[in-house]
């Protein structure tokens, strides 16, 4: 068994840093390098985004590659519309303990990289969430230090949300952007001032960095709120996500050039060419998400092994010297030192190495300028044919209420553009 404690002191230090891409990232705590394979998703099959109906269940799991069976606790906090912790008591949003120990954990076996696997279900025997809203779950060590955090949303359907995707109405971007339109129907909810009581948040592919908010209805017709703007709810369509699959960790497969064993597995991907100037090419993806899996064993949670994924990227037009990152749900859409690429003058390629558990992964390449602004379309292009998922979250707070409820949730894909 090979026990990997860390990579380098520099990476360990930098792993706690996140670039200030937007206000939402102020609450995000990046995990240290010994914490891997963090998954927070609904218990329902074939779902990825941590958005559930009140009464449904979520599961959080992660690995600690120090494999020391440390004691971790979790803390759940209710947040407002802007992801600031709400000014309400824990007894107002949940029963039981808002902070408790993670009781389910086991050591890996038959793996080169040892780890301890932790699992937590919400709700569980010690707590139950009572109200809808934005939530933050934080994992703490034995010294009560937060080692990482994740967001999730619980909604209680009180309105019906109809969402459609369109090609951009702006002729300048008709081949590159999508517009999102939606209608909120509230026949059973009396609104005195919809512009103040109702707030919405729109996401592309469950990416927290993609949020569009503070949008007021364009029209109010009886019990309908209509949002059909030209530019206010517009996204770069982007490109289909790239992918690799390490379920057969010992062999080269699609998009994997070779594998080598050096204490643990090393997986070398084929060189990715920047697609910004290339025509659209269709292949199915899972919108930036990932699925842990292996065919080498029966239990991926405990027998899935790790490898260093070696990424190579050719991009010859980085005139502004922007930083390039590997991007996807595998690290909660975060920009960190670990997924930053470094330019190699000898190979003329951007290179990165990331330790990942066996599975099927979507990823793409993004750039970040020296102001911390994230650009998801220059490197890989943006074509209206790209399939994306768009989600609308509806929030409600009446006068005098202390917290924001989530009263509606709607989704659509750009597979069928309405126009």
With a cut of 50, say whether residue 50 has pLDDT above it: yes
Do 19 and 149 reside in the same domain of the chain?
yes
Task: Please give the structure tokens belonging to residue 243.
Answer: 């992918």
Q: How confident is the model at residue 321 (pLDDT cuts 50, 70, 90)?
A: confident
Please state, in angstroms and rounded to a whole number, the distance separating the CA atoms of residues 156 and 407. Answer: 5
For residue 96, tell me if it sits in a domain: yes
- The answer to whether 50 and 153 are in contact (CB under 8 A) is yes
Contacts of 55 (CB under 8 A, 6+ apart): none
How much is the pLDDT for 140?
A: 97
Task: Please give the structure tokens belonging to residue 73.
Answer: 């606790």
Residue 67 sits in a domain whose CATH number is: 2.60.40.10
Rounded to 10 degrees, the C-alpha dihedral 277/281/283/288 comes to 20
Which tens digits make up the pLDDT trace of 220-255? Answer: 999 999 999 988 999 999 999 999 999 999 988 889
In degrees rounded to 5, what are phi and psi of residue 197? -85, -25
- The answer to whether 43 and 102 are in contact (CB under 8 A) is no
For residue 249, tell me if it sits in a domain: yes
Do 170 and 198 reside in the same domain of the chain?
yes
**Listed residues 155, 184, 209: the one ending a domain:** 155
How much is the pLDDT for 23?
A: 36
For residue 210, tell me if it sits in a domain: yes
Do 99 and 211 reside in the same domain of the chain?
no
Which tens digits make up the pLDDT trace of 290-310? Answer: 999 999 899 999 999 999 999
Do 145 and 226 reside in the same domain of the chain?
no
With a cut of 80, say whether residue 179 has pLDDT above it: yes
With a cut of 50, say whether residue 6 has pLDDT above it: no
Do 256 and 334 reside in the same domain of the chain?
yes
Do 189 and 131 reside in the same domain of the chain?
no
Do 248 and 201 reside in the same domain of the chain?
no
Q: Is 148 left (phi over 0), alpha (psi -120 to 50) or beta?
A: beta
- The answer to whether 266 and 355 are in contact (CB under 8 A) is no
Do 101 and 150 reside in the same domain of the chain?
yes
Q: Domain tally for the chain? A: 3
For residue 149, tell me if it sits in a domain: yes
Q: How confident is the model at residue 359 (pLDDT cuts 50, 70, 90)?
A: very high
**DSSP line for 40-71:** EEESSTT--SSEEETT--EEEEEEETT-S---
Do 141 and 17 reside in the same domain of the chain?
yes
Do 246 and 371 reside in the same domain of the chain?
yes
Residue 325 sits in a domain whose CATH number is: 2.60.40
Do 326 and 403 reside in the same domain of the chain?
no
Structural domain boundaries, residue 220: 160-237+385-413
Do 148 and 13 reside in the same domain of the chain?
yes
| DSSP code, position 279 | P
């Amino acid at each position: 068994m090979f026990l990997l404690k860390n990579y380098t002191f520099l990476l360990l230090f930098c792993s706690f840093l996140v670039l200030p891409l937007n206000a939402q990232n102020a609450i995000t705590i990046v995990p240290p390098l010994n914490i891997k394979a963090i998954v927070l998703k609904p218990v329902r099959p074939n779902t990825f985004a941590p958005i559930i109906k009140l009464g449904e269940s979520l599961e959080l799991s992660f690995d600690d590659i120090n494999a020391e069976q440390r004691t971790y606790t979790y803390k759940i906090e209710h947040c407002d519309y802007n992801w600031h912790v709400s000014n309400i008591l824990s007894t107002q949003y949940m029963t039981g303990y808002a902070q408790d120990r993670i009781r389910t954990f086991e050591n890996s076996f038959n793996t080169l990289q040892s780890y301890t696997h932790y699992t937590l279900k919400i709700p569980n025997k010690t707590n139950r969430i009572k109200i809808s809203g934005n939530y933050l779950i934080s994992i703490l060590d034995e010294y009560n230090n937060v080692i990482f955090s994740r967001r999730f949303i619980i909604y209680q359907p009180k309105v019906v949300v109809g969402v459609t995707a369109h090609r951009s109405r702006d002729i300048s971007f008709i081949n590159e952007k999508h517009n999102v339109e939606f209608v909120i129907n509230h026949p059973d909810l009396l609104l005195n001032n919809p512009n103040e009581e109702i707030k919405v948040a729109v996401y592309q592919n469950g990416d927290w960095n993609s949020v569009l908010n503070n949008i007021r209805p364009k029209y109010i017709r009886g019990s309908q709120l209509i949002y059909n703007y030209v530019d206010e709810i517009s996204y770069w369509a982007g490109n289909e996500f790239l992918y690799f699959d390490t379920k057969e960790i010992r062999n080269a497969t699609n998009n994997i050039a070779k594998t080598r064993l050096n204490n643990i597995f090393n997986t070398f991907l084929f060189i990715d060419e920047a697609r910004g100037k290339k025509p659209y090419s269709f292949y199915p993806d899972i919108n930036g998400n990932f699925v842990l899996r292996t065919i080498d064993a029966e239990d991926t949670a405990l027998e899935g092994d790790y490898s260093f994924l070696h990424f190579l990227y050719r991009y010859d037009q980085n005139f502004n010297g922007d930083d390039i990152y590997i991007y996807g749900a595998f690290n909660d859409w975060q920009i960190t030192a670990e997924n930053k690429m470094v330019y190699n003058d000898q190979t003329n390629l951007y290179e990165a190495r990331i330790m990942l558990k066996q599975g099927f992964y979507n990823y793409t390449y993004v750039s970040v300028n020296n102001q911390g602004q994230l650009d998801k379309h220059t490197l890989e292009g943006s074509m209206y044919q790209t399939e994306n998922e768009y989600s609308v979250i509806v929030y409600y707070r009446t006068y005098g209420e202390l917290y924001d409820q989530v009263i509606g949730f709607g989704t659509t894909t750009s597979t069928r553009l309405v126009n």
